[in-house]
Amino acid sequence: MRNKCWFAFVLMALCALLINTGCAKKTVEPSREITPPQQGATTEQPGSMQMETSKTGEESAAQPQTQGQAQKTTLEKEMASFEENDIYFDFDRFDLTPEARKTLADKARFLNTHPKMKIRIEGYSDERGTQEYNLALGERRAKAALDYLVFLGIGPERIATISYGEENPLDPGHDETAWAKNRRAHFDIL
């Protein structure tokens, strides 16, 4: 019987110890404190439990700058791509090739995404022909691009045209390779 009492005493002591340590007050770290959602709050997931922590003022101020810079960089890349992609024409022609129509469709998508942007279409020709003829041909090329963009839904008030004819060639050479590069319409964002 003495062993049974001793065993019961040890068992009760262990239970009391477990209950006492299991109910001890825990201190909560300030960064892990559960707070109501606030603007600029982030969510952490330690294990499977979600806890929200609010950012310090310095972190909050830095994030909008980073997002703004990323958006600005993306827009700058899109604008550069828009301006770098010219459309090209066959000799003595101003009708749009299927490739030119595809390029113009891409430009229309960009312009629809940025409805306040205005552009200028510059028409060019190669050096063959008179200066007056080449200026007129450059104008017809720019107008063909404008008409197609308007057909795709871009307002004509957003588009200006100018013809440079044979002036300002992209390639100063005097062969078919150079002339093919110079028979183009170029696009500038204003």
Strand partners, 159: 119
Question: What residues form DSSP beta bridges with 164?
Answer: none
| Local structure of 140: helix, strand or coil | helix
Q: What 3-state DSSP class applies to 19?
A: helix
Taking 3-state DSSP, the helix, strand and coil percentages for the chain, each rounded to the nearest 5, stand at: 50, 15, 35
Q: Average pLDDT, stretch 161-169?
A: 96
Does the pLDDT of residue 75 top 60, yes or no?
yes
Report yes or no: 138 and 168 within 8 Å, Cβ to Cβ: no
Q: Classify 96-170 by CATH class.
A: alpha beta
Please check the confidence at residue 49 and state whether its pLDDT lies above 90.
no
Query: What residue segments make up the domains of the chain, in order of their start?
Result: 96-170
